[in-house]
Structure 1
Amino acid sequence: MKQTAMDSSVFFLPHEIIRNILKRLPVKSLIRFQCVCKDWKNLIQNPSFIADHLQQSTHQNPSLLLECNGINIPLPWRLNLMDCGLQVRGVQNSTSNHYLRNNASIVGSCNGLLCLEIYQFNQSPHSLSLWNPATTEVRHVPKTITDFDDFDDGVTGFGFSPIVNDYKIVRTFADFYSDVIEVEVFSLNRGTWKAIDIGNLKGVKLNSETITANGAIFWSWVNLVDEKKENIDFHEDEDYIQEAEYGVDVIVSFDIAKEVFTVIPWPELGYDVDVKLTVYENKLAILCDTWEDEAEIPFVIDLWVLYEGTCASGETWSWTKRYTSSPLSCRLVPATIWRNEIVYVPGSKEHDDEGRINVLYMMNLTTNEVKRSVIPNRDSILGIYNYVESLVSVGNNYIEES
């Protein structure tokens, strides 16, 4: 009897060890393992486990999501994932979600959720959906309160706030090539839209490119110049004068928890650059692509990081240059930061014996080492996003059982 009791105890694992093992597994396996027993199902659906699994995946298994140009190809086949081993695979999707086969684009990627804008003929604005590719869950976002027929233009942003534990979509409304007139916010927890005060967006036209970091959504934007403003430095170049008279580039921040917009100045670069918004150490950052005027070849890539908090000068926001690359021998355009590496796309097309190929270059921020990776998909890359598999639900929040 004692021997039997001892043998049976060998197969017992404490709850914490089981949890520690399961949180390291891929989402596909965890979905299957919910059928093992009720305790495992409750654990895998527990909000604290979902958060632990997300944290583990973020640090151990981050991926790059590549959005490619696949004309007349369903959306799932336009997406590829590159893992830490630089292996590329296609993103699979549930066959029941036929509407995802329409032409779509990614608004943003956050904690394993994608916000998609679905283009439909004669429909404006385009419909929105939230999709978790790992769990294949999809949620259709309802129409906004505002009638878009009264407007011609607008932009959309998507992000998460750990303070309120909520994912939100921001959609602005504007006249064509004009400043923002109205703003609505969709809360995943509420499941509804609500109109908010545009606040600091008066006289502003937003750019469509967004980045989310540390509980905020960021846009590059143009501050329409007030006719009363003075001391504007105009150059003799006619095109520059026309641009300067229109507006000044700055950045807009949307605090997801407080639902408030803030205007942030660019750093004083002192040189002409192409700029890409990105995230570094969970803070807003910009990659500055500088080049030699005559050769039109980038000379260096600078990384500037935005820090919040009152500094010696009294400013609330301060920019710090954190990195400058070695001179580059060919034109590389920065796309994002991934695993302490700057990801670039080549400035000109590359080919092999069979035709055009997609190539990514990665420069390590610590060693300056550059790696080159060829992507199997030959379609044009439209966007590159940081992505991690997660159990985060696009539906109602899971209820933790006591």
Structure 2
Amino acid sequence: MDIPLRWRLSLLDCGLRVRGVQNLPWNKPLRNASIVGSCNGLLCLEIHQFNQLSLWNPKTRAVRHVPRTGTDFSYFNYCVTGFGFSPIVNDYKIVRTFALFYDGVTQVEVFSLNRGTWKAKYIGNLKGVILKSETVTANGAIFWSGVKLVDEKEGEDNIDFQEDEDYIEEAEDKVDVIVSFDIAKAVFSVIPRPELDYDADVKLTVYENKLAILCDTWEDDDEIPCMIDLWVLYEGTCASGQTWSWIKRYTSSPLLCLLVPMTIWRNEIVYKPISEEHDYKGRRNVLYMTNLTTNEVKRSVIPYHESILSIYNYVESLVSVGNNYIEES
């Protein structure tokens, strides 16, 4: 993801009105930052320019700067972070995975908001798994997309690694997977993606508090995706003996233009156009929304001048970030 010259954060309310976020917990403009996740009114932010993770409640203006891990970042090529909450242990946790390009995940550390400390975790069955940076949280677990490198038993790799995220796409022997981290049990699971009989780009999201994926379906020699499928992950032993099963819950009508699914908000899939739209005043932000019940499509012009890079669901709350510092008004 390209980081803009100045990182901005805004709220889009139910009426699709843009609201500025007041009392940001940093005095200086952020030029290299990203949102790791949003959960119960807390945002986990990664401030790359300061190499800092922070938990922030925009409603209460409280922020907690997370201590750095003891891991030497210079030893690793890749770090992927996730954030979530488990009602079972009533705790928010941040998970950081560290990887070498040729080895997949080799080290994991978990921060507990209740304890206020990091703890190393056994990687378990993450050997040979490469995680992508996109993450969501649902039902007490954190999820990532990833790939499982296969055919390693001979000790040979038929993979042309590159020094950036594109190396994932270059892997010849790989299987697309979903990785979950059960926050209460502190256990990783590798879950197969649904078996699709078509080429698809996949976006992680949450539907009915369950992990879901939005799949762009394409036809041969077509320059725009035809439809969007919604697959939902259900837990429970099924006939095949697997403890996870995918069910397709929705297929959209054919799309009229090239749209990128961003998230599910309430009962609607939110998209943005892959190409910027313009009018006589210049560039404008446009979002499309498809109702999952009625299949109705709405197009809305968003009065926001910056490019929309990502969208996160957020609900105001009074959840505490623990030992915190509140900015002065």
Q: TM-score, normalised by structure 1?
A: 0.73
* Structure 2 partner of 1:81: 11
Paired residue for 1:367, among 287, 290, 294? Answer: 294
* Structure 1 partner of 2:137: 212
- Letter of the 1:303 partner, please give it: L
Residue pairs, 1:153-168, within 5 angstroms: 153-168=78-93
Q: State whether structure 2 residue 268 is matched by structure 1 residue 341.
A: yes
Runs of 4+ in 1 over 4 A off after TM superposition: 67-70
8 Å CA contact retained: 1:70, 1:379: no
Query: Structure 1: any 5+ residue segments left out of the alignment?
Result: 1-66, 230-241, 398-402
Q: 1:159-209 CA distances to partner (integer Å, 9 max, x unpaired)?
A: 000100100000011124641111000000000001010001111111111
* Structure 1 partner of 2:147: 222
Residue pairs, 1:302-381, within 5 angstroms: 302-381=229-308
Distance 2:201 2:149 in 1: 20
- Letter of the 1:119 partner, please give it: H
SS of match in other structure, 1:387: coil
Task: Write 1 or 2 for the structure with the bigger share of helix.
Answer: 1
Distance 1:166 1:334 in 2: 30
SS of match in other structure, 2:74: helix
Distance 1:68 1:357 in 2: 19
Q: State whether structure 2 residue 5 is matched by structure 1 residue 71.
A: yes
Paired residue for 1:141, among 66, 69, 73? Answer: 66
Q: State whether structure 2 residue 189 is matched by structure 1 residue 259.
A: no
Percent identity of paired positions between Structure 1 and Structure 2:
76
1:244 CA drift (Å): 5.8
Deviates further, 328-337 or 317-326: 328-337
Distance 1:258 1:250 in 2: 21
- Letter of the 1:86 partner, please give it: L
- Letter of the 1:284 partner, please give it: L
Q: State whether structure 2 residue 26 is matched by structure 1 residue 92.
A: no
8 Å CA contact retained: 1:68, 1:380: no
8 Å CA contact retained: 1:106, 1:117: yes
SS of match in other structure, 1:149: helix
1:93 CA drift (Å): 1.9
**Structure with the greater alpha carbon radius of gyration:** 1
1:382 CA drift (Å): 1.1
Distance 2:27 2:288 in 1: 34
Residues 193 and 227 (structure 1), Cα distance of their counterparts in 2 relative to 1, 3 Å cut: closer
* Structure 2 partner of 1:57: none
* Structure 2 partner of 1:47: none
8 Å CA contact retained: 2:3, 2:32: no
Q: TM-score, normalised by structure 2?
A: 0.89
Residues 83 and 108 (structure 1), Cα distance of their counterparts in 2 relative to 1, 3 Å cut: same
- Letter of the 1:117 partner, please give it: E
Q: How large is the Cα RMSD of the aligned pairs?
A: 2.0
- Letter of the 2:38 partner, please give it: S
- Letter of the 1:203 partner, please give it: G
Distance 1:177 1:106 in 2: 27
8 Å CA contact retained: 1:225, 1:245: no
8 Å CA contact retained: 1:145, 1:194: no
Deviates further, 212-221 or 376-385: 376-385
Q: State whether structure 2 residue 32 is matched by structure 1 residue 103.
A: yes
Distance 1:68 1:224 in 2: 27
Distance 1:261 1:325 in 2: 32
Q: State whether structure 2 residue 312 is matched by structure 1 residue 382.
A: no
Residues 330 and 390 (structure 1), Cα distance of their counterparts in 2 relative to 1, 3 Å cut: same
8 Å CA contact retained: 2:3, 2:33: no
* Number of corresponding residues: 310
Q: State whether structure 2 residue 50 is matched by structure 1 residue 116.
A: no
Q: 1:133-160 CA distances to partner (integer Å, 9 max, x unpaired)?
A: 1111111000102222222211000000
1:101 CA drift (Å): 3.6
1:381 CA drift (Å): 1.1
Distance 1:248 1:274 in 2: 14
